[in-house]
Amino acid sequence: NKQVILTNSVKGSLRESDMSLRTSTICLKIPDGCNGAVLVKNLYLSIDPYLILRMRKTPYLDAITPGSPIAGYGVSKVLDSSHPNYNEGDLVWGSQAGWEEYSLIKDPHNLIKIQDKDVPLSYYTGILGMPGMTAYAGFYEVCSPKKGETVFVSAASGAVGQIVGQFAKLLGCYVVGSAGSKAKVDLLKKKFGFDDAFNYKEETDYDAALKRYFREGIDIYFENVGGKMLEAVLDNMRVHGRIAVCGIVSQYTHEQPEGVHNLLTLITKRVRMQGFIVGEYYHLYPKFLEIVVPRVKEGKMTYIEDVDEGLESAPSALLGLYSGHNVGKKLVVVARE
Ligand code: NDP
């Protein structure tokens, strides 16, 4: 069983040497005494920014311990099961896919069976999986959006951002995104239907950029990056605006996150800023699928993936997220079905 192991706890930024490959043996049958377990073959690994937080022991997140395989979201196939809900041959997705060829999942309670296979299977790492649910919960549940409102999304071409922008357009909002290259900005405008977009690495006066796109201010900010972008956004929020704090990826590689100095805006403009974790919203997954699957099939929603082949490419794929190498949802193919 080829595996990618976390070699040591991460401090500050992540290095490729924090992860290493090893091969171990695994029996491809559920061992005796593992009632309720499933044995899976991992197909697609979802490469997600939050993994660095689990590698450095962050409160409220399950730590990945040095010496054990990295594990996260992924799509897998059940090879053997001693759990009544899963059968050999089932395709599943969930948060317990190891960065390894095969995983024995002793407590598979959060594995979701894939019912609709009429869409690319890899979409269950993205638009039909955790990032899709994150966009859905963060936008509809946390932001309480209304038709005609103005929406700003940072890291907008990524796994979550590209979906938030499309939800906002479907609702009839005006939506602008920021991203880190010209190619990404083009995708936002031409592929995902954003009204406008800018490259924050070229236009470094974020305040001026936001004032140009939002003359009347921002009603909703879908926060993916934190730091200086958040400061600039706060100065451009409208009264009674809402900010869904989904992530602050610009700070994940800093040992000491940057401070935000204008939180007084929350008071003066009565802005609601709320963090959320997608894990608390999976009860909405069936409703989410009803909305999104038909739109994907009809081509009313689209999704861009950035795919690497082979388990050994997972460490560099993860590293690349923190400098914006990925264009769209980053995933790694371990095996095809
Ligand atoms: P992405 O696919 O967007 O990949 C990360 C992107 O972040 C990069 O492509 C890069 O895009 C951008 N980025 C990296 N470093 C910086 C930086 N220093 N400043 C600004 N942007 C940077 O990731 P996801 O869509 O999967 O995740 C987006 C956010 O959502 C993350 O913060 C993540 O932690 C969070 N999240 C939160 C969840 C929750 O439950 N709350 C669940 C899932 C994700 P660019 O080239 O544009 O800079």
Q: Are 28 and 40 in contact (CB under 8 A)?
A: no
Asked whether residue 61 carries a pLDDT value surpassing 90, the answer given is: no
Those residues with Cβ within 8 angstroms of residue 116's Cβ, 6 or more apart along the chain or in another chain: 128, 289, 293
How far away, in angstroms, is 81 Cα from ligand 1 center? 35
Question: What tokens does 11 get?
Answer: 């401090």
Q: Is the CB of 324 under 6 A from ligand 1?
A: yes
The candidate with the shortest Cα–Cα distance to 295, out of 194, 171, 188, 148, is: 171
45, 224, 276, best to mutate for ligand 1 pocket (most atoms within 8 Å of CB)? 224
Residue with tokens 């009860």: 283
Q: Please tell me the distance from the alpha carbon of residue 120 to that of residue 304, in angstroms, as a whole number.
A: 12
pLDDT at 258: 87
Predicted TM-score of the model (pTM): 0.97
pLDDT band at 251 (very low <50, low <70, confident <90, very high): very high
pLDDT at 298: 96
Ligand 1 atom 35 nearest Cα = 247
Q: Are strands 19-23 and 112-113 parallel, antiparallel or unpaired?
A: unpaired
Asked whether residue 279 carries a pLDDT value surpassing 90, the answer given is: yes
Asked whether residue 164 carries a pLDDT value surpassing 90, the answer given is: yes
Selected from 3.40.50.720, 3.60.15.10, 3.40.50.300, 3.30.1330.40, the CATH number assigned to the domain covering 130-279 reads: 3.40.50.720
Share of residues in the chain with pLDDT > 70 (%): 100
Ligand 1 atom 30 nearest Cα = 247
Q: Please tell me the distance from the alpha carbon of residue 258 to that of residue 275, in angstroms, as a whole number.
A: 17
Ligand 1 atom 2 nearest Cα = 158
Residues of CATH 3.40.50.720 domain(s) within the chain? 130-279
pLDDT band at 140 (very low <50, low <70, confident <90, very high): very high
Distances (CA, A) of 269 to 36, 98, 145, 234, 238: 52, 45, 17, 9, 7
SS3 136: helix
H or E segment at 291? helix 285-297
Question: What tokens does 233 get?
Answer: 């956004």
pLDDT at 226: 96
pLDDT tens for each residue of 89-107: 999 999 999 999 999 999 9
Q: Is the CB of 98 under 6 A from ligand 1?
A: no
127, 185, 200, 225, best to mutate for ligand 1 pocket (most atoms within 8 Å of CB)? 225
SS3 156: coil
pLDDT tens for each residue of 195-244: 999 999 999 999 999 999 999 999 999 999 999 999 999 999 999 999 99
pLDDT tens for each residue of 39-49: 999 999 999 99
pLDDT tens for each residue of 8-32: 999 889 999 999 999 999 999 999 9
Query: Which ligand 1 atom lies nearest to the CA of residue 201?
Result: 48
What residue type is assigned to position 188 of the chain? L
pLDDT band at 1 (very low <50, low <70, confident <90, very high): very high
Asked whether residue 259 carries a pLDDT value surpassing 90, the answer given is: no
The candidate with the shortest Cα–Cα distance to 219, out of 281, 139, 285, 291, is: 139
Q: What share of the chain is helix, strand, coil (3-state, %, to 5)?
A: 30, 25, 45
The dihedral formed by the CA atoms of 141, 147, 151 and 156, expressed in degrees to the nearest 10:
70
Neighbouring CB atoms inside 10 A of 160's CB total: 29
Residues of CATH 3.90.180.10 domain(s) within the chain? 2-126+304-333
How far away, in angstroms, is 157 Cα from ligand 1 center? 9
Query: Which ligand 1 atom lies nearest to the CA of residue 246?
Result: 41
How far away, in angstroms, is 179 Cα from ligand 1 center? 10
Q: Is the CB of 10 under 6 A from ligand 1?
A: no
Residue 205: HSE in the Cβ half-sphere, 13 Å Cα cutoff: 5
- What is the fold, at CATH topology level, of the domain defined by 2-126+304-333? Quinone Oxidoreductase; Chain A, domain 1 (3.90.180)
pLDDT at 58: 85
How far away, in angstroms, is 30 Cα from ligand 1 center? 37
248, 249, 307, 323, best to mutate for ligand 1 pocket (most atoms within 8 Å of CB)? 249
Neighbouring CB atoms inside 10 A of 313's CB total: 18
ipTM value for the complex: 0.99
Asked whether residue 109 carries a pLDDT value surpassing 90, the answer given is: no
Q: Are 244 and 142 in contact (CB under 8 A)?
A: yes
pLDDT at 256: 83
